[in-house]
């Protein structure tokens, strides 16, 4: 069955606000020379600045886009415009046999998927059960880098935290670069994050010490790796920057479910774009984090998921003491009622995090669904209050506060949130059984 998407869900796939605006402008059949649809695809020819119309295609089985326009954005405004027309008036687009240029694209996508499957089979056949891209020489370099890191942290504590706001960027960059040279990019990123602390805001010391403790525990965990349970060893190695082959992960047994795509977070650093998709299993109630990395030179990211929709597929998790990050082994876009099992209050979230911390002391942000939360202001800061008036702080920098206030309208609602400790960020809310993205 082809996908069924609302206008809100289509626009959530846009890379930025400019693309959303342009996509809305092109959601007009008068701007298209021709359009067509089948059970598997959607296509059209759109008038452009050139002599030939742009050929736009959308895979309706596994949401994907292709367009002959020169835009480096993905999806481009033409793909968004065509999918918006389809979401508003599917019957306005004639159903017919797909043309050769669409068939060729779909065939190529199928061929690529088959080659990936062959790689997975090869990984199984080769018995590559570890799939670690490291050597004994690298492990030695990481240990040496951690020894230098310990000296740096001890000097920092001896000199006192009050001097840190006066430190120049070189203070953090030099240590980060040394860890890169020691082939510990994960630890280098933690040092960079320390340097990005908002030193001149109230309470920065608490946030800074939490990050510093996370860095110290990770480094100490690596130094005592063999004394830790095997799942926790995998977490420490990944936090330091060791990688695991995704082909190997796809060879592992997975979990089938309808996976609700509750949110997407995008960040950019050093010309690298990171997409974080938060998924929730409708039947299993499992949560998953799907990460995707690409540079601006890459015009077609490997994965396209539309927040607010669902996929039917199989996921496999990275080895961990508390598995969260996953890969999608196979999937098809689908439509599913957005039902989810919610926690009744913040106390259940605290209990859940206590259980995680017993197995994974350096756990990352998690995904939770909590009933009856309401944004409230207290002493110039914004919080989320549950029905028992327990408060958790909204993450600093949360830029959708006014939309959250408008959607809730002063009424408590069930929310999908991400975060840890005492700071959280809403992804969306359930409004009368309808999931609305923020």
The per-residue pLDDT for 127 is: 43
Q: How many residues are there in the chain?
A: 438
Residue 214 is part of which domain span? 136-240
Taking alpha carbons only, the member of 225, 224, 219, 267 closest to residue 239 is 219
Pairing of strands 255-269, 272-281: antiparallel
Taking alpha carbons only, the member of 254, 422, 262 closest to residue 341 is 262
- Say which CATH number the domain at 257 has: 2.40.50
Out of 51, 72, 98, pick the residue that ends a domain: 98
Identify whether residues 235 and 257 lie together within a single domain.
no
Can you say whether the dihedral through the CA atoms of 393, 397, 400, 406 is positive or negative?
positive
d(CA 30, CA 279): 37
The per-residue pLDDT for 15 is: 81
The per-residue pLDDT for 236 is: 95
d(CA 395, CA 432): 26
The per-residue pLDDT for 124 is: 46
Out of 76, 98, 120, pick the residue that ends a domain: 98
Q: Is residue 286 part of a domain?
A: yes
Identify whether residues 233 and 141 lie together within a single domain.
yes
pLDDT mean for each 10 residues of the chain (438 residues)? 71 84 90 89 86 88 85 86 89 88 86 61 47 65 93 92 89 93 93 87 85 94 92 94 87 90 85 88 94 73 82 93 93 74 95 94 93 91 94 89 90 94 92 83
Torsion of CA 99, 104, 105, 107, to 10 degrees: 120
Identify whether residues 228 and 287 lie together within a single domain.
no
DSSP H or E segment with residue 262: strand 255-269
Cα atoms in the Cβ-side hemisphere of radius 13 Å centred on 178? 16
**Token representation of residue 204:** 């920065």
The per-residue pLDDT for 149 is: 95
The tally of domains found in the chain comes to: 4
The per-residue pLDDT for 146 is: 94
Q: Is residue 353 part of a domain?
A: yes
The per-residue pLDDT for 358 is: 92
d(CA 92, CA 88): 9
Identify whether residues 353 and 410 lie together within a single domain.
yes
**Token representation of residue 328:** 């999608």
Out of 289, 307, 334, pick the residue that ends a domain: 334
Q: Is residue 274 part of a domain?
A: yes
The per-residue pLDDT for 299 is: 56
Identify whether residues 416 and 361 lie together within a single domain.
yes
Q: Is residue 130 part of a domain?
A: no
Identify whether residues 283 and 366 lie together within a single domain.
no
Identify whether residues 378 and 288 lie together within a single domain.
no
The per-residue pLDDT for 296 is: 67
């Amino acid at each position: 069955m082809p996908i069924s998407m609302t206008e809100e869900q289509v626009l959530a796939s846009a890379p930025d606000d400019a693309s959303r605006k342009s996509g809305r402008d092109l959601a007009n059949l008068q701007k298209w020379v021709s359009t067509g649809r089948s059970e598997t695809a959607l296509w059209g020819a759109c008038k452009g600045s050139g002599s030939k119309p742009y050929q736009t295609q959308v895979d309706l089985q596994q949401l994907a886009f292709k367009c002959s326009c020169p835009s480096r954005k993905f999806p481009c405004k033409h793909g968004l415009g065509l999918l918006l027309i389809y979401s508003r008036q599917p019957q306005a687009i004639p159903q017919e046999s797909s043309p050769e240029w669409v068939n060729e694209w779909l065939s190529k996508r199928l061929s690529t998927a088959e080659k990936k499957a062959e790689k997975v089979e090869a990984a199984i056949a080769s018995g590559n059960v570890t799939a670690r891209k490291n050597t004994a020489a690298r492990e030695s370099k990481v240990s040496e880098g951690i020894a230098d890191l310990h000296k740096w942290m001890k000097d920092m504590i001896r000199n006192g935290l009050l001097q840190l706001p006066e430190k120049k960027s070189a203070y953090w960059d030099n240590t980060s670069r040394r860890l890169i040279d020691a082939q510990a990019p994960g630890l280098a990123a933690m040092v960079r994050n320390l340097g990005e602390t908002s030193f001149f805001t109230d309470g920065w010391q608490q946030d800074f010490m939490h990050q510093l403790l996370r860095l110290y525990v990770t480094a100490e965990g690596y130094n005592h790796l063999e004394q830790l349970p095997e799942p926790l060893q995998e977490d420490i190695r990944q936090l330091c920057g060791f990688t695991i082959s995704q082909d190997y992960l796809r060879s592992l047994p997975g979990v089938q479910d309808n996976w609700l795509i509750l949110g997407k977070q995008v960040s950019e650093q050093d010309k690298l774009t990171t997409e974080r998709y938060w998924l929730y299993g409708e039947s299993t109630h499992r949560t998953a984090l799907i990460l995707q990395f690409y540079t601006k030179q890459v015009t077609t990211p490997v994965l396209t998921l539309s927040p607010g929709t669902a996929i039917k597929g199989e996921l496999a998790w990275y080895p961990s003491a508390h598995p969260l990050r996953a890969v999608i082994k196979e999937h098809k876009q689908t439509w599913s009622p957005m039902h989810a099992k919610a926690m009744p209050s913040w106390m259940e979230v605290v209990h859940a995090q206590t259980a995680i911390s017993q197995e994974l002391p350096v756990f990352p942000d998690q995904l939770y669904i909590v009933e009856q939360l309401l944004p409230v202001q207290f002493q110039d800061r914004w919080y989320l209050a549950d029905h028992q008036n327990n408060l958790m702080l909204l993450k600093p920098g949360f830029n959708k506060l006014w939309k959250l206030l408008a959607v809730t309208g002063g009424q408590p609602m069930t929310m999908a949130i991400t975060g840890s400790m005492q700071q959280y960020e809403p992804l969306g809310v359930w409004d009368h059984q309808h999931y609305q993205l923020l």
